Amino acid sequence: MHFARKYLSKSTFIKGVQCEKALYLHKFNSELADEISQQQQAVFQTGTNIGILAQELFPGGIDASPKDYTKYFESFKYTQQLIDEGVEIIYEAGFCFDYVMCFIDILVKENGKWHAYEVKGSTKVSETYIIDASLQYYIMKNSGLEIADISIIHIDNSYVRDGEIDLHQLFHSVSVIDKAKNHNDYVKNKLIYLHDILAKDSVPDIDIGKHCSSPYDCNFKAYCWRHIPEYSIFDISRLNKEIKWSLYRGRYIDIKDIPVDTKLSNNQKIEIDSYINQTEIIHKIKIREFVNSLSNNIYHLDFETYQSAVPLFNGLKPYQQIPFQYSAHYENNDTIEHYEFLADHSNDPRESFVKALINDMNKDGDVLVYNIGFERGRLKDLIRIFPKYQSQLQSIIDRMKDLMIPFKEKWYYVPKMKGSYSIKYVLPSLVPSLSYDNLEINNGSLASSIFANLHNISDLDQIKKTRKNLLEYCKLDTEAMVEILKVLKSV
């Protein structure tokens, strides 16, 4: 038995609500957790930045957060001191009750009554956020502070920037005091239960399930899922989650063991048959029709974009995609020319992106992309922002064709694709000599977060190296398209 009680925080409480096994591992076996990726770190940082920005809705407050993140009790003591001194706006106010601690993003005294605000980078209020706020209300109330209201401040995704950021339009506040009060017994009983779990001397025996990714992806997934083969029922493309978990509960994990009466689409059957028999699926007629539908001259085009919770430029909504880079390989009979663009990270990249793209796309031929909805959607966004370029951008849209179709439709499928038609799976399956593995930047999400944070880097050599890595990554995307098309033509 673990006799020394472990403190719970808001985040560990939510972790325990999702899965008590994850909570136990977090407290006693944290070395088993998955490594935090650069993209995840960027998400955490975004949340921190939004919390700080929202403080400007209530200016002039005092920050009660501890100088050292391990010295929580200093914060609790300082918070009480500020309350006693009559301070009416406190940021990161700390409270502790019955081995549970919480920190309130913004605590404000209005007309002699305390109002608590929790800030979220999301565009809506989820049930998890309400549970989160309910815990905070419970802790504050039992710490002796009367709370008149508790609200969740979140991003309003209908806001469009026009000039300086209007924080009162960017943020939307929703009172959840009634729900927090209604959750009082739930929170109390859940805390007793979680403390009991942490007092045990063995890891809770909980199997994997939907809770592994809802409401958040668990950071112990690699550990808990280690009995699942690299390619399993969970990898079958577009298979309904209910069917996946039903198969798992029936102990059908390996694709070879799937019962014949399982409800599957034709594409899923092709995928499974290909894997079991290690056979390639090649519909020559369909592929020939696709190849023949293309012009002799082809632009192979790929965009990279990033997004920001707080719209960085006029005409943008929160989290709207901002194109900052493209690569294009122009194939003209036997010759190939390469064009590329990478925006200046310190300025609005959109118009310079548009001008460069129009200039580079001035030759005849189809514009081949991989997943047409993405590039077409970005160009339509740009037309709305810059209507003067409408005819040129619409001309590029009208010439677009989608290289993903033969793979999405399973006209060309090999077992190595593992049910995916992503270019990251298609490329090594068709062209093993080309790979993203050796690149410093090897996926779009990483490229986005790295570009978005370039302005925080002051080392010019590091900026130069990062920009070179971004160009190499995007170039490989369109080089991959050239080689993939070659394979289709050879069929």
pLDDT tens-digit profile of 452-466? 988 888 899 999 999
- Give the residue, 135 or 439, on which the prediction is more confident: 135
- Check whether 17 has a pLDDT greater than 80: yes
Collapsing DSSP states into helix, strand and coil, what is residue 330? Answer: strand
- The reported pLDDT for the residue numbered 4 is 52
- Check whether 392 has a pLDDT greater than 80: yes
**What pLDDT digit, counting tens, does each position of 252-287 carry?**
999 999 998 999 998 899 899 999 999 999 999 999
**pTM of the entire predicted model:** 0.90
Q: Which of 479, 453, 90 is nearest to 307 (CA)?
A: 453
- Check whether 3 has a pLDDT greater than 50: no
Instruction: Give the Å distances, CA to CA, from 73 to 134, 194, 206, 303.
Output: 22, 22, 33, 49
Q: Of 27-36, 45-54, 65-74, 165-174, which gets the smallest average pLDDT? A: 65-74
CA distance 303 to 347: 18
Mean of the pLDDT values across residues 93-113? 95
Q: Do the Cβ atoms of 315 and 444 come closer than 8 Å?
A: no
The pLDDT > 90 percentage for the chain reads 85
Q: What confidence category does residue 346 fall into, taking pLDDT thresholds of 50, 70 and 90?
A: confident
**What pLDDT digit, counting tens, does each position of 281-290 carry?**
999 999 999 9
Q: Do the Cβ atoms of 92 and 65 come closer than 8 Å?
A: yes
Q: What confidence category does residue 72 fall into, taking pLDDT thresholds of 50, 70 and 90?
A: confident
- The reported pLDDT for the residue numbered 1 is 55
CA distance 408 to 325: 25
The mean pLDDT value of the chain amounts to 94
